[in-house]
Amino acid sequence: MTTEPVLQLRNLRVYYGTSGRPVRAVDDVSLEIGESEVVGLVGESGCGKSTLGRGILGLLPEGARAAGEVNYLGRNLLSLPPKAVRRLRGPELGLVFQEPMTRLNPLLRISAHFRETLRLHEPQLTKEQARRRSLETLGRMGIPPTRFHQYPHEFSGGMRQRIMIALALVLRPKLLVADEPTTSLDVIVEGQILALLADLKRNFGTALLLITHNLGIVAEACDRMAVMYAGKIVEEGTVRGVFAEPAHPYTRELLRSTISLDTTELHSIPGAPPNLVDPPSGCRFHPRCPNAMRVCVDQVPIEQRLADGRRVQCWLHGPSQRVPAGGEAPLEQPVGVADEA
């Protein structure tokens, strides 16, 4: 990235719950998103990807604590007062959730949703300007102007998600965080929405963090990707690079277990994702890893940068001088059938 990143996470940690046994949902994560860039954040349920998205926007539930840096255009949001972060949410940082049904006010017409949003954040616009901007944004998302005055219940699920995206984009934010935006939608509608999201940079110049569990969506819509496992980003790089040659065994196994139309053989990863109260020692993936070595059991991997600029946290990629003698010996794993998921 030649220009300054829109968003830069540095050593971000988010813990939930009591000080005794906190859930370490996001644990020392660093990530950058450049201007107009589409970055996919992939991982399985409970890996902390949604918490990461909420942490960026300052929308963590009560009882959660965040540490580290969330730098938005050079300002650390974690050190700003909540009021200042709230002012950024909307005009600067947009958000699209998974369930479009629950995010629109059923008592307000679509036009009222847009009027409210624009009046709050861009009070200088005249009524006519606000209306025109709303209709234009809705149009690009495929919502007919004839339906501007209807209520949320009069729209289908896919239409509601388009409206939600339009509602975020009408303020022209620099960054949009979309958390599983297509998960509750049908496959054809999902494809339509992905096409809209992939066009964001051309149409709106917005950077996008797309949080998903679906690697097909990442391949389709993203420039770069970060793979999250048990609270950590274990690999990050260009989508083409990672798919062509995954560096982390988890990425590789996840790609192999993804079922697509070309899948001829079923493949899965032994065991199940760990809980984050008491994650495995060393590398958190080691109990499920087919390449695990002795060093992986008690030494936390050190992030390495590969030749193509990729970042990876795995002892297979070194640094070898930090591996204790005999640490490279393969780990004998008792695959307990009881851990079978």
The answer to whether 109 contacts other proteins (rule: CB under 8 A) is no
What are the phi and psi torsion angles at 246 (to 5°)? -60, 135
The answer to whether 115 contacts other proteins (rule: CB under 8 A) is no
Would strands 224-229 and 38-42 be described as parallel, antiparallel, or unpaired?
parallel
What is the C-alpha to C-alpha distance for residues 239 and 39, in angstroms, rounded to an integer? Answer: 9
Judged by beta carbon, residue 107 or residue 341, the one nearer other proteins is 341
The answer to whether 192 contacts other proteins (rule: CB under 8 A) is yes
Single out the residue of 144, 205, 309, 318 in contact with other proteins (rule: CB under 8 A). 144
The answer to whether 19 contacts other proteins (rule: CB under 8 A) is no
Rounded to the nearest whole angstrom, what is the least distance from the CB of residue 25 to other proteins in the complex?
17
Single out the residue of 240, 245, 319, 320 in contact with other proteins (rule: CB under 8 A). 240
Judged by beta carbon, residue 92 or residue 190, the one nearer other proteins is 190
Smallest Cα–Cα separation from 298: which of 312, 318, 284, 310? Answer: 284
What lies within 8 Å, CB to CB, of 176 at 6+ separation is: 93, 94, 95, 96, 168, 169, 200, 206, 207, 208, 209
From 19-27, 31-39, 102-110, 237-245, give the range in contact with other proteins by CB under 8 A: 237-245
The answer to whether 122 contacts other proteins (rule: CB under 8 A) is no
The answer to whether 159 contacts other proteins (rule: CB under 8 A) is yes
What is the C-alpha to C-alpha distance for residues 267 and 265, in angstroms, rounded to an integer? Answer: 6
The answer to whether 154 contacts other proteins (rule: CB under 8 A) is no
Residue 254 burial by CB count (10 A; 0-12/13-18/19+): exposed, middle or buried?
A: buried
The answer to whether 309 contacts other proteins (rule: CB under 8 A) is no
The answer to whether 252 contacts other proteins (rule: CB under 8 A) is no
Task: Label residue 270 left, alpha or beta by phi (over 0 means left) and psi (-120 to 50 means alpha).
Answer: beta
CA atoms within 13 A on the CB side of 265: 2
Q: DSSP string spanning 256-267?
A: HH---TT--S--
Judged by beta carbon, residue 38 or residue 295, the one nearer other proteins is 38
The CA distances from residue 270 to 216, 255, 330, in Å, are: 22, 14, 17
Single out the residue of 73, 78, 255, 297 in contact with other proteins (rule: CB under 8 A). 255
Work out the number of other CB atoms within 10 angstroms of the CB of residue 30: 16
The answer to whether 304 contacts other proteins (rule: CB under 8 A) is no
The answer to whether 220 contacts other proteins (rule: CB under 8 A) is yes
The answer to whether 44 contacts other proteins (rule: CB under 8 A) is yes
The answer to whether 239 contacts other proteins (rule: CB under 8 A) is yes
Would strands 75-76 and 65-72 be described as parallel, antiparallel, or unpaired?
antiparallel
Judged by beta carbon, residue 142 or residue 280, the one nearer other proteins is 142
Judged by beta carbon, residue 140 or residue 201, the one nearer other proteins is 140
What lies within 8 Å, CB to CB, of 264 at 6+ separation is: none
Residues near other proteins (CB under 8 A) are 44-45, 132, 135-136, 138-140, 142-147, 156-159, 186-192, 194-195, 213-221, 239-240, 243-244, 253-255, 257-263, 266-269, 272-273, 337-338, 340-341
